[in-house]
Amino acid sequence: MKIVLATGNKGKLREFREMCDIEIIAFSDILGEMEIIEDADSFKGNALIKARTIYEKLESDEYIVISDDSGISVPLLGGEPGIYSARYAGEGASDKDNLHKLIDTISSKGVKKTSAHYTASIAIVSKYGEYVVHGWMYGDIISTSRGEKGFGYDPIFVPLGYNLTLGELDEEIKKSISHRAKALELAKPIIEILKRKF
Ligand code: IMP
């Protein structure tokens, strides 16, 4: 039995590996790079698409596949970028392009700070069934990028109860409060039970 993470996002892979005490293989190390069309209308739906696609491509029932679909939602923007966070600035956009599009969008509304939240949906697919769990992190986004830590929208996200962005805060803090960490805490016992069944 092996655990495979269905993501090509280096930031997510690093965070998963640092937060888990189990060995996690990147799907690309087995299957090479591949594009997965995420066309569901929810984080949960897209997480399931990713995990199911990789599970099927692996063509072996000896794997537990985990995926993470995540993003940032801004109530001022009607919940955008939400499930479109990875392609907010267009197909093939980089993390930096998306970050600057979000800064430009809130700035164009004359806003320097507004509430936002991250969502992480983690899907687990194996021969013993499919599971999905969620985690959230609430805070504000600001119109100036600050700090180099984390990835994606982290340089503008200030978690509730803090004054610094996730780009500035110690990475250990993000690991203790993040949407991904919270979802992973729910995923871990499921993975443990599945592991024992193999
Ligand atoms: P996905 O890989 O399709 O789930 O896209 C996730 C998008 O949300 C990417 O643009 C990420 O940069 C962004 N995102 C998700 N989680 C985080 C995070 O923890 N910090 C910063 N950006 C994140």
For residue range 43-68, list pLDDT tens digits in order: 999 999 999 999 999 999 999 999 99
Collapse the DSSP code of 16 into the 3-class scheme (helix H, G, I; strand E, B; otherwise coil) and give the result.
helix
At residue 21, the pLDDT reads 83
Question: How far is the centre of ligand 1, averaged over its atoms, from the C-alpha of 118 (Å)?
Answer: 8
For a ligand 1 pocket test, name from 151, 178, 179 the mutation site with the most ligand atoms within 8 angstroms of its C-beta.
151
Rounded distance between C-alpha atoms, residue 196 and residue 120, angstroms: 26
pLDDT beyond 90 at 8: no
Burial (CB count <10 Å: 0-12, 13-18, 19+), residue 135: buried
Ligand 1 neighbour 42 (Cβ under 6 A): no
Query: Domains plus CATH for the chain?
Result: 2-197 (3.90.950.10)
**Are 135 and 185 contacting, i.e. CB atoms less than 8 angstroms apart?**
yes
Predicted confidence at residue 102, as pLDDT, reads 98
3-state helix, strand, coil split of the chain in percent (to 5) is 40, 25, 35
Ligand 1 atom with the shortest distance to the CA of 151: 21
Report, as an integer, the average pLDDT of 11-37. 91
| 103 sits in which H/E element | helix 95-108
Average pLDDT over residues 173-181: 97
* pTM of the entire predicted model: 0.96
